[in-house]
Structure 1
Amino acid sequence: MPVIIGILRMENSPMMVAFWATELLFHAAGFLVAALFLLNFFQYPLFHLNFRLLIANLTLCTVFTSICRFTMLVGKIGELFASNSFLGFWLQILRDVCMYAAGFHLTLLSIERATATIKSRVYEKSRGFVWVLLLIVLTWALSFVVIYCVQYSLVSPYIALGIIVVVDGVALAVMLVLFYVNHKMYHRVASEAKHSTHSLSQRYQFSENIFSSRLLKRLLLFLAGASVIAIISYFGFVFCGDQTTLGRVSGFVFDLTIASLTSLVPIIIIAGTPRLRHSTFDRMCPQAVRSLTVGPAIPTDINGNRLIIQDETNVYFDQLKSSWN
């Protein structure tokens, strides 16, 4: 039995139609959000290239997961192919592979940030990304091997789920440690040599590590919560069966949780990066941004409170005249 079963084999019913329609909308929204995120993420190089490659590939993992599930739903609703057909079988396998690859990418992000901390003196200027690409390929291969072993009963699906839980837990712990270490090293370098060019470079790298660690900590906490919900709903579906209402609801919660990652992962990164957030809003609502940035200046006092001034021109020249006297 595959590690992820889903709800495609259930008979048609109004409840299932509502479930499928809701999930399709989540997938469609995820495609739009992910496309907008990737476009802005590479247009504005706010992070190191290796970090951007891993974040982009994590996003693509969630996108490919949604593509497989979206195709399965369309095939089911339109009766284009059966869920137990050759195409349906491989779509399910690819979906599981993409989900496991996303889980392993969290560990890769921890490894990359740990490398940035250890090599803080030179990492900022380094452009080597081949090792990151090799790790990405290795992650995809390992995910395929795990799903293959589960599919042919070489490994229990519970062991496979346990591997993901342990890996995500280790990644979260590493991010917390890196945040603390970079925070201490930043202040130590700043106090030792304030005017050294080399120390300024180190401080920049430490500040970037602090920012990225804080960002990844939020992302990992969210993914940990989503994983708990997905695992509980998965076991609810397995133990209750696909013919009971509770089993169907559990399957729907699981699939909707996975579908939401396609949009929520980019949203968390966008919300945690001010420049990326502003550029995304600018691309989505250019007219609103112009109306906010272009307009007459409003006089305020030192506390930021708006001043009501009559005949502003005369007041300005009176102040200028008094300054010359």
Structure 2
Amino acid sequence: MKKVELGRTGQQVSQVSLGCMTMGTSTDEKTSARILDAYLDAGGDFLDTANCYAWWAGSSFSGGESEAVLGRLLRGRRDRVFLATKVSAQPTDLPAARAAQRPSGMDWEAVERTYEGASAAVIERSVEESLRRLGTDHIDLYYVHVDLRREPLEETLSALDGLVRAGKVRHTGWSNIRAWRLEHIHSLSLAHGWAPPAAVQVQHSYLRPAGADTPSIAGGELLDWLVAHPDVSLAAYSALLRGIYDDAAYREATPIWRSYAGPDSESRLAAVSKVASALGATGNQVALAWLLRKQVIPLIGPRTWEHYESIAPAFTLDLSDEHMSLLDNA
């Protein structure tokens, strides 16, 4: 698996990151171990989790399950991985958060009102809890999970910098954030000598959103900003949009399609299908390989072993310049 530099930190990481959100909840520990072992054997090393994963997976879960199972699975091999986790999106009122469940899915705006935020006190407490669950003395990349704008940025950035200076965190990042806020964070960090963000994590895939305007999806402004700021890497979650590139019936039924449905996506799906047919690959594999050619760090989040097996061929899928031109110009 190809390695890339994280921002301009000098740190090399595998270009495909393993999203561990479901590990310890909907993905049992045995399956989690099998996926993790296969990913490491393929040359992967960039693991992504969060302190809130995955409280919504069932009434017996409260968050921290993914970190805890990773802590057990990484015993004796912590030095083989680059470990990312997050702070600020753990609900303070789990009953209220669970009450936001709707037949059509979770009302995440209602859930967000229960998030604990990114105050200095929350950051300093949460990092210790994450370190304990993960069974490590440091976190390689520590994200602010959701930009809630409740606390002064100076307080949050100073607290994150304190963790870096103490050696508890190596690098910092932000997730689900707009470009103008990221620019402000970047500028403040440089002005005060605080640890600058090395990565931003947002939803990004080959399909382009159809008019969706949300900080959780990479829009043109953020993508332009990242071109001008190569010291910040783009880590793309939902890189396969939950697998919608291969199954039309599933695509129409899944809520994530609502943000992408339209003529532009239909044209790009046709291009994916054409390239996939030429290469004997799947649409999901082509979409992931396209991101790799774009120097994005895509996250994959396989819930089952079969899901992992279906994605893994994309790690080495070679898209020619002709294939890229077809995909780029669809």
The higher relative CO (CA closer than 8 Å, separation ≥ 6) is in: 1
Q: Which structure dedicates a bigger proportion of its chain to helix? A: 1
Q: Which structure dedicates a bigger proportion of its chain to strand? A: 2
User: In terms of Rg, which structure is larger?
Assistant: 1
Sort the TM-score into its range (normalised by shorter chain).
under 0.3
